[in-house]
Amino acid sequence: MKKLLLQIFTWWNGQTIGTRFYTWRFGKKVGEDEFGNVYYEGPQTSFGVPRRWVIFNGVAEASAIPPGWHGWMHHRTDVAPSQETYVLREWEKPHKPNLTGTPAAYRPKGSLAGAGERPRVTGDYDAWTPGS
């Protein structure tokens, strides 16, 4: 019951009722990633490409889409990672959640939310003054 109420009243927890209906009516499941996100493909858009969407496992966090699925979602490839043996390239890093707005967010010294004092400016910087 709680999950249904979340789907009715929030858009950031999984799928909404509208997304559930659209997925049921038009969606074809393409695959699932290691985070439990489920990917779908539907009818063509006005641009002539198939509509693609993801139903997140939990909170909707766009940075939680792995690189292979990101390429498929944005039509950079027509082959979904579930239909091929996708291997991360050496320069692709594992997912790290976006921590902005959380207590674990990066806060440099001297920022309003950070502790400490901003480092003093060294001689490699000259402040701009009008007329100079």
pLDDT at 39 over 90: yes
Report the DSSP beta bridge partners of residue 54: 39
Q: Which domain holds residue 17?
A: 2-83
Establish if 23 belongs to a structural domain.
yes
Establish if 124 belongs to a structural domain.
no
Report the DSSP beta bridge partners of residue 55: 38
pLDDT at 34 over 90: no
Establish if 10 belongs to a structural domain.
yes
pLDDT confidence of residue 1: 67
pTM metric for this prediction: 0.65
Mean of the per-residue pLDDT values of the chain? 81
- What is the count of structural domains for the chain? 1
Establish if 13 belongs to a structural domain.
yes
Say which residues have a Cβ less than 8 Å from residue 105's Cβ, sequence separation at least 6. 99, 113
Establish if 101 belongs to a structural domain.
no
Establish if 104 belongs to a structural domain.
no
Sheet holding 50-55, edge to edge: 28-32, 38-44, 50-55
| Position 16, amino acid | T
